[in-house]
Homo-oligomer: A and B are copies of this chain.
Amino acid sequence: MSLFTSIKKPTLLLDEQKARANIHRMRLKVNQQGVHFRPHFKTHQSAVIGEWFREEGVDCITVSSIDMAFYFARHGWQDITIAFPVNLRQIDEISMLASTIKLGLLVESRETIQFLSKNLAATSTNTWIKIDTGAHRTGLPWQQADAITQLAREIQSTPALHLCGLLTHAGNTYSATSPDEVCRRYGESVDCLLDVRQKLAATGLASLEISVGDTPGSSLCDFGEVDEVRPGNFVFYDSKQLQVGSCLWSDIAVAAACPVVAKHADRQQIVIYGGAIHLSSELWMIDNQPVYGLVALPDGKSWSEPLTGAAVVSLSQEHGLVKLAEKDFNRIQVGDLIFVLPAHSCLTVQAMREYLTLDGKVIGTLNSKS
């Protein structure tokens, strides 16, 4: 029985070759440009896939939660930055990690530094100041050089902490509509950090590093004068990244195989077993219509190029609605599999919790049931 014949329900397929090629390509780029590579593991969340990075010489990683840090520490990773503001309520877990691995923390307020000063049971824990260069999620606005300087001095005077530098996530590159716009936004973000670093240096705060990390910027642009890059999504890419121009369709390394359960000829739509609990509800807009993923068909032992004029246009808990061009609609039958290239692979991985590789291996994640 072929791999695809054996699939009975929504299954996250992983093309190992493509993922390894994506890792290799990014690794070459960071080497060539002489920056430090600290890939974000929140995308794949898998110890097995982590080893593919290790084989490329990676030994420093980024994660987005303390649970994820513990998981990868258990799997032999000794240098982990948690790229999320310190959660004071997990201080015991942070202390435990800080005493066993080389841990990196993000801070952005005096209150948090004072709390860590009193409660962190460790010394010289690597600490980054989170800077907002325009994404407006979190971090100190880059324009507030005085506040950043004050924070840097507080960290320096806290024995529990060691000041590493300035860190940002230029999340606004994800909403860019062209590679040029990605690189403009990426460049502006780096310029903001360089500006802050210069101002801090002028007050005597020298040798601060700069860490950046979005996949569109890391895929499309020269890194510029940064010290460290932390992209994550590039390991798999996805339909949104394809739209932005960060990758080719043939770089997308994951696809959700979904059974077709109904057809509606009047609206050229098929219903798939594959809903928000499998793909996540992430979307982007095309002509004011939501798109939850692009759609491909089986092609030998892999999947085809995305079908022209086809998209997942609606999701409920378990149902997905796929709009197709007429010729594709006619050749798909109830019981067939279609392949959804997800809008946002990180969230689809989180929802699906394990992978099936194209050569039939099941690969678990932090969230696997067994």
* Residues in chain A within 8 A of chain B (CB atoms): 7-9, 42, 64-67, 84-90, 93, 108-109, 111-112, 115, 136-139, 141, 171, 259, 261-264, 266-267, 271, 273, 276-277, 280-282, 314, 316-319, 321, 333-335, 346-347, 350-351, 367, 369
Contact = CB atoms under 8 A, between A and B. Distances in A.
B347 A271 contact: no
Contacts of A316: 137, 171
A138 B322 CA distance: 11
8 contacts: A65-B273, A87-B273, A109-B334, A111-B335, A138-B319, A280-B281, A317-B350, A369-B369
A259 B88 contact: yes
B281 A109 contact: no
Contacts of A93: 8
A184 to B, nearest CB: 22
Given A112-B334, A271-B138, A334-B111, A261 B86 contact: yes
Contact of A87 (B87, B259, B277): B259
Contacts of A136: 267
A9 B261 contact: no
Contacts of A137: 271, 314, 316, 319, 321
Contacts of A281: 276, 280-282, 347
Contacts of A317: 42, 64, 346-347, 350
Contacts of A321: 137-138
A133 to B, nearest CB: 14
Contact of A259 (B67, B89, B367): B89
Nearest to A335: B88
Query: Which 8 A-B residue pairings sit nearest by Cβ, starting from the closest?
Result: A88-B335, A85-B261, A281-B281, A8-B89, A138-B271, A277-B350, A85-B262, A64-B318
B266 A141 contact: yes
A111 B89 CA distance: 56
A66 B89 CA distance: 39
Given A138-B262, A262-B138, A369-B369, A273 B334 contact: no
A90 B263 contact: no
Contacts of A115: 334-335
Contact of A334 (B88, B259, B262): B88
B64 A8 contact: no
A112 to B, nearest CB: 6
A215 to B, nearest CB: 13
A362 B346 CA distance: 28
A258 to B, nearest CB: 10
A88 B90 CA distance: 46
A316 B350 CA distance: 13
A277 B261 CA distance: 27
Contacts of A85: 261-262, 271, 273
Contacts of A369: 367, 369
Q: Which of A7, A85, A136, A282 has the most CB of B within 10 A?
A: A85
